[in-house]
Amino acid sequence: MADKYKDIAAKIVENVGGEQNVDSVVHCATRLRFVLKDESKANKEALESVDKVMSVVRGGGQYQVVIGSEVNDVYTSINNNYNVNSNGEAAQDNTPKKKSASGALAVIASFFTPYIGVLAGAGIVMALVNTLEMYDVITKTSLTYVMLTAISTGIFKFLPLFIAITAADAFKMNRFIALAIASAMVYPLVDPSIGELVFKPFGYNVDFNKYGGAVVPTILAIWVTSYVERFFKKIIPAAAKIVFVPFFTLLVAGVLAFLFIGPLGTLVGDWISKVYTYAYDLNPLIAGLILGGLFQLLVVFGMHWAILPIAMINIDSLGYDTILPVMLIAVFGQVSAVAGMIFRLKGKDKEVAVSATIAGFFGITEPALYGVNLKYKRPFIIGLIASAVGGAIVSYSGVTSDTFSPILNPLYFNFFMGENSNFTALVIAFVITIAIGMIGAIMFGLPKPKQTATATTTQAKAETTVPAVAANTITSPLTGELVELKDVNDPVFSAEIMGKGFAVIPSEGVVTAPVDGEVIILYGTQHAIGIKSEQGIEVLIHIGINTVELNGEFFEMTTSTGAHVKRGEVLGKFNIEGIKSKEYDTTTMVIVTNTADYADFSFAQTTGAVKMNDAIVTVSK
């Protein structure tokens, strides 16, 4: 697809002094925020004449180009077409900022967002190939099989290469050094002579053949590499950096990846497999419960490869295996959860959920995991619970498989119909797993807005005084002092470049919905929320001035993109004193970003004390 913003991006880059003049560029809800090496090289007048550019502002050490609602598209075009950071470094950290371990899985999921559709498409091709081969439509030596297998399997085998790019951007390091490290990790997959070698330099195995497709080891390796690279950048003279920074970084980080990071993942996986074997011998129900509940988590961390060989050994020695039935159930725990999320999500995420469900039916869970379930966390946990229940049932009931396959789906049910298996129990467990996953995701997949005691009290009080306003009336999302936009200490908002509206200096750190509608965007830094009303009014709530620079600190939004909200519903909270302690203005702007669609703005009040849900302005065409 043609990049319709390419010409705009070209003119912007040219008029900020060219890509060589750009130290970095990020974007917030409305602006491209450049850090320029020499601001005198920028042409403000020329920039303001560029299509989509509303204004140009200097402030906070940044050269800010105001775009509006299309800022992300323009930023993406700039990032795709220009090397706007020296040495190929990333221009922006798009990784969700998480302050606790609970956010780790969401961070991992963020590395897959740019190419989740490719994963889904390849997964469906892979499932199609396996199905055609299983029913003898094609053979493993046929041209069709070989071609489609290469097309579908390549991205999964060499997944670390894709991860390297997004992880490098997140950790702000050179993409090509990251790719070199990831390439080293997957190289043994293309050289069988190396892949078959196992070393014991420190008393534990260094198995080069276990890194291909492993997610977490790759992310950890790139993370470590980013620190190694920064270290050598500091100590190596500028004249020698172009060669010796990559040289020493690859040498040190590569050794760390092979000798410590990879083996650590393998070691953990080996111990999990031993625990499972012991637990199954002791109590099949508990073993199935544990493995079912953990299997897809092991997939994320690349540790499931330590368990699959046990399944192969069991089939070779016993003629049947008890792990594969649990694996099948674990797959559909996540698939059923993402299927349930189809009924809860909107827009692009809903489209991802649909395609992930299709791929998941054929046994490919990566699109479900990384496209939806890990991103929202709740569906992932619900899927694990469903899998734990189903896994306990199949293990306790003696369900077995007499054929090995690393990918399982309902088309392979005949694997579980052997004389040593309880196929009826498998069907029952399958249905129960899907029911728990789907119903659980539909009911609990997205959180209801959290309310602290203060927020609950405030909202309850506000709800009793919500005026019977017209649907096209915008109410105050905050309690505080109402001020006119022209008095806001930000020229972009005060000049109404972004649109007409009002501002509130908040006295309470609770923000509510000013209209009935859908949350169309919640920025990762949580300082800005976009809502489209049921009548089509697009309202931007921008909490504070330049608060994007806080990177989410002091903000705790409890809504999410795609959520349907009612006027007065709590969207989240923010710490007013915390924001002020960092010397940021807490004035909150409420802007109608599609102002051009409305001819009249009738204000009920323009200044003075205001309470949450007070009627402020009515718009009409």
Q: Give the residue numbers marked as catalytic.
A: 28
d(C-alpha 565, C-alpha 509), whole Å: 19
d(C-alpha 228, C-alpha 248), whole Å: 8
Strand intervals (E) in 428-478: 473-475
Question: Residues near 6 by Cβ (< 8 Å), separated by ≥ 6?
Answer: 77, 81
d(C-alpha 95, C-alpha 78), whole Å: 19
CA dihedral 271, 273, 278, 283 (to 10 degrees): 130
C-alpha to C-alpha distances, 79 to 6, 24, 74, 331, 334, nearest whole angstrom: 10, 10, 9, 36, 34
d(C-alpha 450, C-alpha 570), whole Å: 8
Structure tokens that stand for 295 in this block: 């299997």
| Degrees, nearest 5: CA angle 440-102-173 | 125
3-state secondary structure of 497: coil
One-letter-per-residue 3-state SS of 499-544: CCEEEEEECCCEEECCCCEEEEEECCCCCEEEEEECCCCEEEEEEC
| Degrees, nearest 5: CA angle 8-12-14 | 115
Beta pairing partners, 579: none
Amino acid at residue number 257: A
d(C-alpha 176, C-alpha 87), whole Å: 9
Which of these, 370, 525, 380, 390, lies nearest to 446 by C-alpha position? 380
CA atoms within 13 A of residue 605's CA, in its CB half-sphere: 14
DSSP 208: G
Strand intervals (E) in 375-422: none
DSSP 21: G
By the 10 Å C-beta count (0-12 exposed, 13-18 middle, 19+ buried), 132 is classed as: middle
Question: Residues near 295 by Cβ (< 8 Å), separated by ≥ 6?
Answer: 304, 307, 326, 327, 330, 387, 391
Let me know: does 390 contact 292? Beta carbons within 8 Å: yes
d(C-alpha 150, C-alpha 132), whole Å: 15
Structure tokens that stand for 16 in this block: 């900020």
Amino acid at residue number 552: G
DSSP 321: B
**CA 136, 138, 141, 145 torsion-angle sign:** negative
Let me know: does 257 contact 178? Beta carbons within 8 Å: no
